[in-house]
Amino acid sequence: TPAAAVIPAAGRGVRLGPGAPKALRALGGTPMLIHAVRAMAASRAVSLVVVVAPPDGAAEVKSLLDAHALPERTDFLVVPGGAERQDSVRLGLDALPPEYDIVLVHDAARPLVPVDTVDAVIEAVREGAPAVVPALPLADTVKEVEPAGAEGEPEPVVATLERARLRAVQTPQGFDRTTLVRAHETVTDNVTDDASMVEQLGLQVVVVPGHEEAFKVTRPLDLVLAEAVLARRRL
């Protein structure tokens, strides 16, 4: 069965600093969003990409997609996004035609995810997992603190987490469509990722290996790394 990918791309990119919405910022001369769309379309299993555009930018995103060729087997749709990432994902899901039973949700801000990671996520959903996330072990030790009252003030450590049991989660996250739609209808708290909504339904979420190049472009230094990864690929 074919899979569809929903790409939330409606964020401002406040942490990246002033400029165009993050998904429209250039990477190797091409908008980050186009890289993300191509990364999903690179999987033979993905036959539809739904881009969730900045609320006032749907027309611009539509013409960008018209101008950048995708594989013949891949269709795309553009819908305007919402205030929070969760709203944007739901608006993307609302636009999905009925024939797609497997849905990926992939951040436009992770433009360089390799196709093998996309395929591994889809494969795990096909094998029966209701929700699948790619993730990597952490490099840093992680401590829980009592957050400081004022900025720059020392923070008391509460605990040191067991690093071997921790994973840093990436996208694309893959879902049985019915499960993800139900999660978005049921879970109302603000959440960071889609899989956590499925966890709140009491269903099992599984992890498959992520990839270093699936990192999220969040701050200016991430753009430096993304440009370097692209340049290395073009060698």
**Is residue 85 a contact point for ligand CTP (CB under 6 A)?**
yes
User: CB-hemisphere CA count at 13 Å for 105?
Assistant: 28
**Could you tell me if 142 and 100 are in contact, meaning their C-beta atoms sit under 8 angstroms apart?**
no
Contact 3, 46 (CB under 8 A): yes
Q: Should residue 81 be labelled a site residue for ligand CTP when binding is judged by CB under 6 A?
A: yes
- We find the least distance from the C-beta atom of residue 235 to ligand CTP, in angstroms, to be 27
57 touches, from Mg ion, ligand CTP, none (C-beta below 5 to 8 Å by class): none
What is the nearest approach in angstroms of ligand CTP to the Cβ of residue 53?
8
- CB of 49 closer than 8 Å to CB of 41: yes
Kindly state the smallest distance separating residue 157's Cβ from ligand CTP, in Å.
26
With CB cut-offs between 5 and 8 Å by kind, which of Mg ion, ligand CTP, none does residue 200 bind? none
Kindly report the length of the chain.
235
Site string for Mg ion, 7-46 (x = CB under 5 A): ----x-----------------------------------
Q: Round to whole Å and give the CA distance between 82 and 100.
A: 23
172 binds ligand CTP (CB under 6 A): no
- Minimum separation from the CB atom of position 25 to ligand CTP (A): 10
- Footprint of ligand CTP on 96-155 (CB under 6 A): 107-109
Residue 27: beta bridge partners? 30
113 HSE (CA, 13 A, CB side) = 38
Q: Taking CB within 5 to 8 Å according to partner kind, which of ligand CTP, Mg ion, none is near residue 84?
A: ligand CTP
Determine the interface stretch with Mg ion among 6-14, 47-55, 187-195, 209-217 (rule: CB under 5 A): 6-14
Q: What binding mask, one character per residue, do residues 4-43 give for ligand CTP by CB under 6 A, x or -?
A: ----xxxxxxxx------xx--------------------
Q: How far is the CB of 160 from ligand CTP (least distance, A)?
A: 27
Instruction: Give the residues lining the site for Mg ion (CB under 5 A).
Output: 11
Instruction: Give the residues lining the site for ligand CTP (CB under 6 A).
Output: 8-15, 22-23, 52, 81-85, 88, 107-109, 216, 218
